[in-house]
């Protein structure tokens, strides 16, 4: 009696106990779902000790959270009518009263800087004292703003008349649920009320706003994916099996698997991100093929001899072992993400691996147990095993493998050459907003602010003068000005904001507000203008936004458009060249940072690590093959049909300009881990048939093709349409992931059903070594049982 025969006996004898344990575990995992929470910060793709992260943390330590800005914009000439102008300013006043808001900056908050000659200091006064009630007052404010206050350009207005209001959230709530509550329950209703009352469209953006709407979209889509995956797999399953009973059992298994998936997310304390949200639907898609193999085998056995107990025992003992191997290889493909130094991917890998093993256990236990309570399938439920069209497909594959092996090999070589050409055309890309839903209003608003104000993703430059009060030296300010002038040459970056803007404004104020003096002071002007600044520091408090309390550190803030890593590298190289020239190493330390830059650097880091991850997956699966077959030739033969689809997918990405980015790089590890399952099922049956056919390769290959071909076809179609569900997403990355994995798995099916048998037949003399086969003792895949009875 083999190990798997014992397992089968235990499951079927203790079916009530097994079901009770499943119910208890499911109930306990349901209680863990209350701990599920959404991610309230951007995914950090870099390890915490990476130099880019260390620089970013240093910046945060000095100046605090930089991603706390929400911006409102309006581009409409009627905004300068009295009622609409006042209503626009009232939005900021009302929001300023919320505890979640630190402060707001709108036209109503504009402070004019004036020189007080008597006290030799600068004083600030409002642009207008009372709410304007006449159109001429508005026109006067408009003239002051657009013609005499260049300090506020690109902060509250641009040259085309677009107005902007800045809302700075309390930094303590930026990465908490309170941020989402404020945006959904306070900010959005307030804006909608204004739009309705004034017939104006308000554009809203800023990282806190984008992250909130993005998280909501992820949550909405997750349920769409779960329901979509259940529906499409159920329809396909029923189409193949024509059995409500089989379809119900399969949906029950994957339904429990989804509950376990949500439970594990809560149990492990992970946040719901764009990746972890894919786990529940992924489990449905991966779980259904397990059910296909188990139910198909059960029905084949029933058709053979009509003995239910014997059929169920053989389902567990024969298919259970091969299915275990396939699920372990799939889980291994995902588990390699654990070795990537990215928390986001590590969590995804751990969750996927645990749930893949879980869905296998559930299928192996629930399907035979439920069938044991039911009568034998009727003849109409077994008719699909004799479908003419399916038989024709299998016969066509057999004919191709028998007579057209040279054609298969020539086609393979041509595909490899074309794929290599496409491979060299792949580009690398990565940005915070590239994969965001382009049909959503918040994405259109991002593009609006890119067009009007130069971008919304902050890029920070931190200048360390290494001396207290070193920032306010005129020589330092001039060095910073050279860097600012370089930034302004890039259309991908917005006009920078820094202490230089305030110093220029101070000179303008000193010369009675004349805008032509909005420039850095000369060496001669510096002493008396700076003496005014020193005397007024306590009154204005404007300096603290740009310079730290010691005067050692300064920040230059610009905003980036949605650019890829290649453009960012060019920009960074040019800025670094200016930094190297203007800021000598011994006297200054200058670094570029900000959320957008951290993400772009994280993309490059991630791609390097995922190449290692894929290599590790291939190595692990090679070790599995070596352990199972004890033959170097078999390792090579089993890997070639699974590497080919990956190469073809990479080629397609190059030809169709689908870039390598965090979402698409996952395709290769996921697809490889799943596609190798078909190889294992085929080779498992092939080994059994070798024994039955006295080590003759040809009959063994054809017999394996006939029996496993149907199941492999069914599972590949289920997987194809299951992953295709992800293409209904509004996230570009999820669409690419679903589409590319679907195509790769379809290609893998063709490769495993045509190329794999062809390779086995071509190398039959090298692999059909009786001594090697006997050395394995067939512990992995036992020979056909009941040989003696026959």
Measured distance CA(148)–CA(508) in Å, rounded: 9
pLDDT at 613 over 80: no
* More confident site: 267 or 710: 267
* More confident site: 226 or 185: 185
Q: Measuring CA to CA, which residue among 661, 593, 603 is closest to residue 52?
A: 593
The per-residue pLDDT for 531 is 83
Q: Report the share of the chain in percent with pLDDT over 70.
A: 91
Ramachandran region, residue 110 (left: φ > 0; alpha: ψ -120 to 50; beta: rest): beta
User: What beta strand segments (E) does 589-636 contain?
Assistant: 589-593
Q: Which of 590-594, 598-602, 708-712 has maximum average pLDDT?
A: 590-594
Q: Measuring CA to CA, which residue among 594, 588, 591, 593 is closest to residue 477?
A: 588
* More confident site: 337 or 201: 201
pLDDT at 540 over 60: no
Measured distance CA(384)–CA(377) in Å, rounded: 12
Structure tokens belonging to residue 740: 């590319």
What confidence category does residue 717 fall into, taking pLDDT thresholds of 50, 70 and 90? confident
Pairing outcome for strands 69-74 and 121-126: unpaired
pLDDT at 505 over 80: yes
* More confident site: 757 or 306: 757
The per-residue pLDDT for 590 is 93
pLDDT at 786 over 50: no
Mean pLDDT, rounded, of the chain? 83
- Cα 441 to Cα 197, 201, 238, 274, 299: the distances in Å are 20, 11, 39, 19, 51
Rounded average pLDDT over 470-474: 90
The per-residue pLDDT for 380 is 61
Instruction: For helices 320-335 and 595-629, give the axis angle rounded to 10 degrees.
Output: 150
Q: Please give the radius of gyration of the chain, using alpha carbons only, rounded to the nearest integer.
A: 33
How does DSSP classify residue 124?
Answer: E
What confidence category does residue 778 fall into, taking pLDDT thresholds of 50, 70 and 90? very low
Contacts 24+ apart (CB under 8 A), 755-759: 755/408, 755/412, 755/640, 755/641, 755/644, 756/637, 756/638, 756/641, 756/679, 756/682, 757/397, 757/401, 757/682, 757/701, 757/704, 757/705, 758/401, 758/405, 758/408, 758/409, 759/637, 759/640, 759/641
pLDDT per residue as tens digits for the range 314-325 = 888 877 777 887
Where is average pLDDT lowest: 45-59, 278-292, 372-386, 573-587?
A: 372-386
The per-residue pLDDT for 378 is 66
Q: Measuring CA to CA, which residue among 117, 115, 90, 83 is closest to residue 104?
A: 90
What confidence category does residue 770 fall into, taking pLDDT thresholds of 50, 70 and 90? very low
Where is average pLDDT lowest: 33-47, 49-63, 532-546?
A: 532-546
Tokens 């104006």: give the residue: 200
pLDDT per residue as tens digits for the range 390-446 = 778 778 888 888 888 899 999 999 999 999 999 888 877 766 677 777 778 888 898
pTM (two decimals): 0.74
Measured distance CA(734)–CA(790) in Å, rounded: 53
The per-residue pLDDT for 204 is 93
What confidence category does residue 293 fall into, taking pLDDT thresholds of 50, 70 and 90? confident
What confidence category does residue 29 fall into, taking pLDDT thresholds of 50, 70 and 90? very high
Tokens 């000005």: give the residue: 481
The per-residue pLDDT for 418 is 93
Measured distance CA(549)–CA(473) in Å, rounded: 15
The per-residue pLDDT for 382 is 61
pLDDT per residue as tens digits for the range 484-503 = 999 999 988 889 999 999 89
Structure tokens belonging to residue 177: 């649920």
What confidence category does residue 203 fall into, taking pLDDT thresholds of 50, 70 and 90? very high
Q: Which of 257-261, 378-382, 604-608 has maximum average pLDDT?
A: 257-261
The per-residue pLDDT for 387 is 65
What confidence category does residue 773 fall into, taking pLDDT thresholds of 50, 70 and 90? very low
pLDDT at 779 over 70: no
Pairing outcome for strands 553-560 and 457-464: antiparallel
E strand or H helix that includes residue 37: strand 37-38
Q: Are 434 and 660 in contact (CB under 8 A)?
A: no
Cα-based torsion angle of the residue sequence 164, 165, 167, 168 in order, rounded to the nearest 10 degrees: 70
Where is average pLDDT lowest: 161-170, 329-338, 641-650, 759-768?
A: 759-768
| 712-725 core/surface letters (b: 16 or more CB in 10 A; e: else) | bbbbbbbbbbbbbb
pLDDT at 790 over 70: no
The per-residue pLDDT for 542 is 59
Rounded average pLDDT over 289-306: 82
The per-residue pLDDT for 1 is 61
């Amino acid at each position: 009696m083999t190990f798997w025969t014992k397992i089968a006996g235990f499951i079927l004898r203790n079916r009530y106990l097994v079901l009770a344990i499943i119910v208890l575990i499911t109930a306990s995992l349901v209680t863990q779902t209350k701990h599920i929470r959404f991610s309230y910060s951007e995914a950090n793709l870099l390890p915490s000790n990476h130099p880019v992260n260390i620089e970013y943390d240093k910046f945060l330590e000095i100046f605090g959270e930089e991603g706390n800005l929400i911006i409102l914009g309006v581009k409409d000439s009627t905004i300068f009518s009295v009622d609409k102008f006042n209503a626009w300013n009232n939005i900021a006043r009302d929001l300023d009263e919320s505890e979640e808001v630190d402060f707001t900056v709108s036209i109503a908050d504009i402070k004019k800087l004036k020189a007080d000659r008597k006290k030799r200091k600068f004083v600030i006064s409002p642009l207008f004292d009372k709410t304007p009630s006449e159109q001429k007052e508005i026109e006067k404010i408009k003239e002051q703003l657009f013609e005499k206050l260049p300090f506020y350009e690109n902060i509250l207005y641009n040259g085309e008349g677009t107005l902007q209001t800045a809302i700075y959230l309390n930094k303590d709530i930026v990465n908490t649920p309170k941020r989402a509550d404020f945006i959904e329950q306070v900010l959005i209703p307030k804006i909608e009320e204004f739009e309705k009352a004034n017939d104006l469209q308000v554009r809203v953006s800023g990282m806190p706003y984008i992250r909130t709407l993005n998280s909501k979209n992820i949550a909405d889509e997750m349920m769409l994916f779960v329901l979509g995956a259940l529906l499409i797999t159920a329809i396909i399953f029923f189409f193949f099996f024509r059995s409500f009973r089989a379809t119900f059992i399969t949906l029950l298994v994957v339904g429990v698997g989804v509950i376990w998936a949500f439970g594990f997310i809560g149990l492990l304390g992970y946040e719901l991100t764009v990746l972890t949200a894919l786990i529940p639907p992924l489990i449905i898609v991966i779980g259904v093929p397990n059910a296909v193999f188990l139910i198909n085998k059960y029905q084949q056995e029933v058709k053979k001899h009509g003995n239910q107990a014997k059929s169920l025992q053989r389902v567990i003992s024969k298919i259970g072992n091969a299915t275990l191997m396939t699920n372990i290889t799939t889980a291994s493909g995902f588990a390699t993400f654990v070795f990537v130094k990215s928390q986001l991917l590590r969590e995804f890998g751990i969750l996927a691996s645990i749930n893949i093993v879980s869905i296998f256990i559930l299928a192996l236990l629930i399907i035979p147990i439920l069938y044991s309570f039911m009568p034998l399938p009727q003849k109409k439920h077994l008719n699909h095993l004799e479908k003419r069209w399916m038989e024709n497909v299998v016969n066509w594959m057999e004919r191709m493998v028998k007579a057209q092996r040279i054609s298969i090999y020539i086609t393979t070589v041509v595909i490899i050459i074309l794929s290599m050409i496409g491979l060299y055309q792949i580009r690398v890309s990565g940005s915070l907003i590239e994969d965001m839903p382009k049909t959503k209003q918040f994405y259109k608003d991002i593009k609006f602010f890119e067009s009007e104000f130069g971008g919304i993703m902050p890029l920070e430059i931190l200048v360390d003068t290494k001396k207290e009060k070193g920032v306010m030296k005129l020589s330092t300010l001039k060095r910073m000005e050279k860097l600012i002038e370089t930034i302004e040459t890039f259309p991908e970056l917005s006009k920078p904001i820094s202490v230089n803007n305030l110093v220029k404004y101070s000179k303008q104020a000193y010369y009675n507000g004349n805008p032509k003096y909005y420039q850095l002071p000369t060496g001669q002007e510096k002493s008396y203008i700076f003496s005014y600044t020193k005397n007024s520091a306590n009154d204005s408090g404007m300096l603290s936004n740009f310079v730290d309390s010691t005067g050692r550190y300064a920040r230059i803030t610009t905003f980036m458009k949605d650019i890829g890593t290649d453009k960012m590298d060019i920009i960074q190289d040019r800025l670094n060249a200016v930094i190297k020239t203007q800021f000598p190493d011994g006297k200054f330390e200058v670094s570029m940072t900000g959320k957008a830059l951290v993400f772009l650097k994280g993309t490059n880091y991630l791609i390097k690590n995922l190449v290692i991850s894929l290599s590790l997956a291939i190595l692990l699966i090679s070790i599995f093959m070596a352990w199972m077959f004890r033959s170097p030739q078999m390792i090579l033969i089993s890997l070639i049909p699974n590497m080919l689809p990956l190469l073809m997918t990479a080629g397609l990405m190059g030809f169709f300009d689908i870039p390598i980015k965090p979402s698409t790089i996952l395709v290769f590890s996921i697809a490889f881990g799943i596609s190798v399952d078909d190889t294992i099922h085929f080779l498992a049956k092939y080994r059994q048939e070798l024994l039955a056919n006295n080590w003759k390769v040809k009959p063994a290959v054809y017999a394996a093709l006939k029996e496993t071909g149907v199941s492999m076809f069914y599972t590949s179609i289920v997987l194809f349409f299951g992953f295709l569900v992800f293409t209904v997403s509004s996230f570009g990355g999820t669409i690419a992931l679903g589409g590319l994995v679907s195509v790769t798995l379809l290609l893998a099916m063709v490769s495993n059903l045509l190329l794999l048998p062809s390779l086995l037949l071509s190398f039959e003399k090298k692999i059909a070594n009786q001594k090697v086969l006997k050395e394995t003792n067939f512990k992995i895949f036992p020979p056909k049982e009941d040989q003696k009875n026959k």
